[in-house]
């Protein structure tokens, strides 16, 4: 499989910028709170460990996913087994999300402890070849360790968010009069810095997520050798998501970063700061891969 050089460079630049932002943020925290590098590293390490350990369990619980056996869904397991042999990765657990909204995702700490999930809705609208295309995309996420990458990338963004929230609360209720003026000024400084870090990392993490989706499309297309199967699946899923009941979308849209197609209810800021690239751009790239494979 040929590497998409432009995509690789964009991801590398995004991670570099994110790293620089986080280093500046760590320096600010160390200076402001009078902490050394070691205590901050320990706190960050504990948060990384907790987020990494519990993330997959939270995702499965939040989506109402049930792990299913080969006897319950033989065709689904057969496709996963075949693709895993081609990709040379351990077979993940297979789950079913009890939702009529067609979608799929993968989660887990690594290839040996991953889960690939499809919704009941996706099984109703895709044929076997299209389902294989979707699963090849999700297994590429597992092979590339994308869940771990996004989890680690979002760590200090989460810290900045909580600092911003606590500073906002402190500003509203904790100061501004008499002896509290200095404290209020310091709190506002924390609020501003945390807000800037959170917003910049928010944008960059979403860019990284979009790049990872392109990479998973590409990897899945080469894994099956049939890019148009994934292309047709994406178009079908996107069409069904657009007409799905708003209440059904709201139940699962909090997990949009994991899905192959975001479940956007139409009343969320996710329309403007999407974790996924536009469908037509993804289809266009898959068509280009189809041409590559024919030449």
In the annotation, is 248 catalytic?
no
* Contact present, 128 and 150 (Cβ < 8 Å): no
Separation between Cα atoms, residue 104 and residue 89, nearest integer Å: 19
What does the block give as tokens for 50?
A: 């907790």
Rounded-to-integer distance, Cα 18 and Cα 24, Å? 10
Cα separation, 5 vs 214, in Å, equals 12
Entry field: residues in the chain: 295
Candidates 130, 103, 141; CA nearest to 262 is 103
Side-chain-side CA neighbours of residue 58 (13 Å): 12
Q: Under 8 Å CB-to-CB from 131, ≥6 apart: which residues?
A: 76, 79, 118, 122, 123, 233
Closest among 6, 25, 11 to 204, alpha carbons compared: 11
Encoded tokens for 217:
């499309």
The DSSP result for 91-158, as a single string, is: PPEEEEE--SS--EEEEESSGGGEEEEEEHHHHHH--HHHHHHHHHHHHHHHHTTHHHHHHHHTHHHH
Contact between 102 and 241 under an 8 Å Cβ cutoff? The reply is yes
Place of tokens 């209020």: 184
Q: Which residue out of 138, 213, 240, 253 is catalytically annotated?
A: 138
Catalytic residues: 138
């Amino acid at each position: 499989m040929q590497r998409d050089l432009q995509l690789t460079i964009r991801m590398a630049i995004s991670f570099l910028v994110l790293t620089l932002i986080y280093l500046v943020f760590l320096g600010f925290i160390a200076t402001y709170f009078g902490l050394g590098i070691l205590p901050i590293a320990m706190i960050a390490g504990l948060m990384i460990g907790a987020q990494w350990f519990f993330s997959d369990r939270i995702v499965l619980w939040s989506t109402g996913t049930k792990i299913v056996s080969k006897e319950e869904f033989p065709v689904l397991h057969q496709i996963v087994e075949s693709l895993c042999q081609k990709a040379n990765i351990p077979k993940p657990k297979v789950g079913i999300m009890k939702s009529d909204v067609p979608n799929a995702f993968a989660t887990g700490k690594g290839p040996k402890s991953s889960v690939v999930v499809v919704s009941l809705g996706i099984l109703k609208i895709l044929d076997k070849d299209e389902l294989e295309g979707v699963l090849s995309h999700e297994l590429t996420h597992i092979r590339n360790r994308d869940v771990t990458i996004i989890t680690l990338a979002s760590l200090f963004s989460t810290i900045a968010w909580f600092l911003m929230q606590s500073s906002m609360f402190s500003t509203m209720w904790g100061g501004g009069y008499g002896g509290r003026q200095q404290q209020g000024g310091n709190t506002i400084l924390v609020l501003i810095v945390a807000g800037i870090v959170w917003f910049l990392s928010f944008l960059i993490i979403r860019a990284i997520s979009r790049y990872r989706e392109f990479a998973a499309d590409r990897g899945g297309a080469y894994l099956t050798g049939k890019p148009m199967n994934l292309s047709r699946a994406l178009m079908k899923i996107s069409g069904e998501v657009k007409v799905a009941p708003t209440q059904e979308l709201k139940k699962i849209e909090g997990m949009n970063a994991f899905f192959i197609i975001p479940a956007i209810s139409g009343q969320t800021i996710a329309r403007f700061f999407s974790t996924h690239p536009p469908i037509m751009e993804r289809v266009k790239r898959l068509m280009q891969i189809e041409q590559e494979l024919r030449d």
